Amino acid sequence: MTDSNVVELKSATGDALGELLKEGARKLLAQAVEAELAELLAQHAGETVEGKQAVVRNGYLPERKIQTGLGEVPVKVPKVRDRSGQGIKFNSRLIPPYLKRTKNLGEFIPWLYLKGISTGDMQSTLESLLGEGVGGLSSGTISRLKQGWEADHERWRKRDLSRRRYVYVWADGVYSNVRMDDRLCLLVIVGSDDTGRKEVLAVMDGYRESEASWLEVLEQLESQGMTIAPKLAIGDGALGLWKAVAQKWPQTAQQCCWVHKTANVLNKVPKAVQPKVKEALHDIWMAETQEAAHKAFDSCVKRFEGKYAKAMECLVKDKDSMLSFYDFPAEHWQHIRTTNPIESVFATVRLRTTKTKNCGSRKTTLAMAWKLMENAQRRWRRLRGYKLLADVVQGVEFKDGERLEMDRSPGTAESAVHQI
């Protein structure tokens, strides 16, 4: 056998082995993702809508390729269909939806940092995820990248907000341990302007979710030119947030996030009962009218308060703010019932929950969280029914999601309000 034949044989053998390994990686990844999906479906197995399973699998997202140390590996992530209207989606922890372009280091580095990977370990981590093509990203290079993002965040924090009118804002606190003796709470606000476009308005740190911390965030937005209060604020129910909103934006309606509230209520009942309680909560916020929602609310409390008093106390204390969405266009309900614009970004990044040494400064953590949200923001879509935001801004009243008109026809003794 000639030398050239030997080289060709080795090359063919290497290629075959590489392909075999990639195929094995693809199968393992597919199995792991299917296991994640099965776990999600099992969580909602007891939920039905008109006799049908509420959450079912619904095909796949378009195939995409993930860069690994073995090269590109094709993956297909399953989708689910949610008949309940809760906005339930399948997000794989292995293949996060906000890391679709795995070669985009502007997304990967903040994600890894917030996962707890130190600067010194980041190059080897990136090489294992993306392959050796990212070689040369030394700890010094990554440090310079982070410093640049810190400077970008500082400029962003001082930008002018006076040219846009924000109608809805979503607010949430995300916790992270960044020092041995300090627990950082990231206070995040996302806003939708009167054209339906969402953007990150604030990423600041605070002492837990206190009134003083949230008030500082709102005052920061005011100093940047956001002087007109939004029509509705959506939050997780933290008392400090609502006190700050009431003080700074007294005319702003308040909507408690149904995802947070559901989780808080379910945490106070035995696991075996959770599907029944969750179904009862679903009947409340999916009711077509506010009157029907109140009936479902009272029915839920009456049904469970005897055995699970603490859970029902948790539900009742925010009753008024949980049904505010009925006073806004029905087309917007899916957007304003939850803090999903914030939750979805951090769903796959549980900020550091264990205290570690040399785990970074508050300034860097803020910059990395902002960078992650900035990248996610590029893929946000406009609000459904965004043209109705003009009516909301003008103060047009809505009842049960439908616009109210003033009947001023001749001959009437006084104006009458009717739904159209």
Task: Going residue by residue through the chain, which has 420 residues, state the pLDDT in tens, using 9 for 90 and above.
Answer: 555 554 444 444 446 666 776 677 677 777 778 888 888 888 888 888 888 888 899 888 888 776 655 567 778 888 888 888 777 888 776 666 544 444 455 566 776 667 665 665 556 556 555 555 554 456 666 677 778 888 888 999 999 999 999 999 999 987 765 544 456 688 999 999 999 999 999 999 877 778 999 999 999 999 999 999 999 999 987 788 999 999 999 999 999 999 999 999 999 999 999 999 999 999 999 999 999 999 999 999 999 999 999 999 999 998 989 999 999 999 999 999 999 888 777 765 555 545 555 556 778 888 878 888 887 788 888 999 999 999 999 999 999 999 987 554 555 444 444 554
Measure the CA–CA gap between 20 and 90, rounded to whole angstroms: 29
Which conformational region is residue 168 in: left (phi greater than 0), alpha (psi within -120 to 50 degrees), or beta? Answer: beta
| Secondary structure of residue 255 in the 3-state scheme | strand
Residue 110 vs residues 146, 192, 350, 375: alpha-carbon distances, Å: 9, 24, 12, 10
- pTM (global) more than 0.85: no
Which conformational region is residue 167 in: left (phi greater than 0), alpha (psi within -120 to 50 degrees), or beta? Answer: alpha
- Give the residue ranges of DSSP H helices in 85-210: 105-115, 119-130, 139-157
Q: What order do you get walking across the sheet with 416-419 strand by strand? A: 398-399, 402-407, 416-419
Q: 123 and 102 in contact (C-beta within 8 Å)?
A: no
Q: Which two tokens stand for residue 265?
A: 């209520």
The per-residue b/e assignment along 33-46, b for 16 or more CB within 10 angstroms, e otherwise, is beebbeebbeebee
Separation of first and last alpha carbons in the chain: 87
